A and B are shown apart, each in its own frame.
Chain A
Amino acid sequence: MIVLGIEGTAWSLSAGVVDENNIILIENNPYIPREGGIHPREASQHHSDSIPDLISKVFSNVSPEEVDLIAFSQGPGMGPCLRIVATAARLISLKLKKPLVGVNHCLAHVEVGRWRTQAENPVVLYVSGGNTQIIARRGNYYRVFGETLDIGIGNGIDKLARHMGLKHPGGPRIEKLAESGREYHELPYVVKGMDLSFSGLVTAAQRLYDNKVRMEDVAFSFQETAFAMLTEVTERALAYLNLDEALLVGGVGANKRLQGMLRTMCKDRNAKFFCPPNELMGDNGAMIAYTGLLMYRHGYETRVEDSAVKPDFRIEDVEVRWD
């Protein structure tokens, strides 16, 4: 079965085609803000301008008749962006007379991670722009039992980067700077059970920069603090649930220092650490396509009249009917 998946919940506009075992292609056309952070209206304008070309590109590599199912990210995300993607998916589905399935974006990050690694029943650390969650499966549902109490870690990194005059997205730039950091400056470290808070940390790091601390050291101190918090809650979750696998997913998961910390933590408690390859960490169409495939094969199908977008869709709201 061949599935086309379209992702466009926020900055990323991406289409992917997969079958049961392989990723056949991924086409990306990301929205990059000219200045500042993501503006929902600008982002949706970008998606609306770019989606026809993106889909044509896909269909110049895969013939439309071959596609058996259209999957799209139904939420969570920015309403205006979600609507563009949903509209395009409905049109393609009607035109090709192929079924449609709406996919939860967070679930897609988790399932593509499990697909591309050997993880079976992991504690999932999901770190992206707007989301930061600790997730594990219990029976037929994923449950979120730790998350940020204020901003997502990715938004926090991007905010700090902007303050230091770096372009969006800040993650890779902060990572690069941090590699040359030497001096650690203490910053607010806030962990509450398995919940976290980042906004005080971001403000304090911005103040370091204002006080003329080297950019490299600001980036270094910020990463060391934030990623230690993330690693700590992951370890707490492993101990609490008595599990021995950790899976890292989401855009921030591309960070090598974060991966390294989690790997060390897992090693020291005899757990296994997994992370999918970088191109599947950030938002992408292949994760939507693969999750759509799983869902369709387990009885899910979204009728056009039920395909309204869900800006605050939670992973916990989806029944997981597969192993």
Chain B
Amino acid sequence: MKHIDAAAHTRGESQYVDDMPQPADLLFAAVFSAPVAHGKILQLDIKEALSMDGIIAIYSAKDIPGENQIGPIIQDETLLAEDKVHFIGEPVALVVAKTGELAQKALKKIKLEIEELPVVTDPREAFANGQIIGNSRTFALGDIEGAWNICDVVVEGRCDIAGQEHVYLETQRARAVPLEDRCFRIHSSTQSPYAVQKSSAKILGLSHHKIEVDVQRLGGGFGGKEDQATPWACLVALAAWHTKKSVELVLPRHQDMEMTGKRHPYSSDFKIGLTKNGKILAYEVKHYQNSGATADLSTAVMERTLFHSTNSYFIPNVKIFAACCRTNLPPNTAFRGFGGPQGMFVIESAIAKAAEKLGMSPLEIQYKNLLQENDVLPYGQHVHDARSRKTWDEANKSYKFPAIQKRIAKYNETHFETKKGLAVMPICFGISFTSTFLNQAGALVHVYTDGSVSVSTGGIEMGQGLNTNLAKIAAKAFGINQERVKIESTNTTRIANMSASAASATTDLNGNATLIAVGQILDRLKSLAAKELGLSHKEKIVIENENVLFDGKATGWTWGKLIQTAYLNRVSLSAHGFYATPGIWFDRDKEKGHPFAYHVFGTAILEVTVDCLRGIYDINSVKMVHDLGRPINELVDRGQIEGGLAQGLGWMTLEELKFDEKGKYLSNSLATYKLPDVYFMPDVLEVKLLERIDNPSGPYGAKAVGEPPLMYGIGVFFAIRNAMRAFRPEIEFLFDSPLTPEKVLMQLHADWLDDLTNGRTVTSGKAVKAKKEKVEES
């Protein structure tokens, strides 16, 4: 089934926040933000800006009627800076004007006098200074100290993992509309309407019910609008509060890129110990997360790193340490994978390095240590329905790893300039919010007297196909045509206290809540039908294809007749369903529990060709076996797999976020930040779904799909690195991502470069030349 919104998208009819009809007196806002990454505010001078034509008002922290605080977990983030600024792009003042253009112009006339303070951008430096957010945490299993002694080899190393810009194509935006009695409606491009409601209520000093947040859809989110859609919504609410007019704010791309946080960069140290046969006995890792200037969701992101630091492997002795390090960058935030990918990158690096030391194929080590049924993870949860080996074996059977390895070895023997590399990337990703209380959802279902159905949930449609899934779930549960079902906007007056659309769990949570609401209505309808038709067993009544059946036989009643009769008999045709994921818990004092409803598994094999004289490369193929349970909608899910993979591949290769030591992002536009384009995708992409096995936790047996496929992308780093090793096996290449063509070239020819810059005769050139001759001879 196709994407429910897609037809309107293709006609240009889908409305995003700033496409909605504009009231005649709509005002427009622009954000004045900190020009330096750390400093004391001496003076904010808005006089000149305020005197410009068309400027209505300029607000700063002192104009906030409520509490100037929007931190979602830890209360350390102001909406508008008070006496200090902590990152470049931190909002300081809000200009409100008759047009967006005028508002932007006025920004240039605002003067901010600042006394600069020292800037820290490196998480290790921040850690050494004691600049930590929350508490550092450690997950442990077995006896790590004892285990090192029984290892045949122990390998240590370091990883540096860069961040990633979300590049939702619709930038951050919001519109606030004042209503009667000091109430406000906010249209926001947010993944978390309740976060917007809570924070704007706090900013204005109002109770939650005075703020209505409505979200029709997002032009992409990927985590970047989980928490960081909140400030812009609060700012327009503030302006609407003062002006009593509707106010809209749309961040221009470069401001969005400058002011918002990204995927967290990590710097990590690993130590891994194995037997000489490749069995991993011990693994220790220290993660220094670059959190940026405020907590945002960093502590939760770090928690997911802790949970995913051993990826798909069973390791008996483990110690995982992580700390959120406060730096002077924009607050880093949720991004598809939410800290999981960073944890996985480090264990894969450790395995790669161990394989080099043991002279073994990394595939052998990976396979030997894959999770098996009932293995325990470092956080105490036993894996049920483990499908790591299943997906690996299935992938090996379909794609024949040994044959590929052989073909690549042959290619590398006979080619000098270009080398091929291969990597296998298994994934194991836990589904559920790791804060157990967030795993709750509500759904409101109405049936109207013409038999049409309206479904509201707390889930946000952001392209991932949630609405398509919900429509299918509701129609199937009622036994009616899907055309009868409409999925409403997400609105805080219909669904209260909703969790963000995140953690891949949106369809699971909201789909299950919808099933519960539909079940309540169905139950009433069946009781009524049983009574009216004089049938004794209401459980034998089912609705199929809009017909009411009893014991499999037609009763003559249709859906339409059933609903009409129910209405005339005063049977309620509305229900609110509430779902809370059962059986999950986590004890943060002991760092043990059962935080995930289930895991998603999969295995991908990736092949690349690297031009070792130029550093450029091509992703030849990505082939995978992925576990979707019993998919609700395969087309939508495949779209998620392809899009997620593209983001993962981009993160590891060409998406390079650069900032200078002053904390300024140098890649602050799509001209300086390289996004995957159509040429970037693998030449061949094969996605096989593991045999459909019901997942007891998902609606109709489905498994979550949003985040896991991104992590297959990690494999491309190791495939490229393996190709580099084929060219120069004597070099120990860094675990430093993204592996841009520039970095490939610099690492392959570092000695060359060194000779050149120091005025020596180039020596490595000779080695390369000798090798070339050897290849040509053979």
> Do the two chains belong together in a single complex?
no
Give A contacts to B, CB under 8 Å: none
Give B contacts to A, CB under 8 Å: none
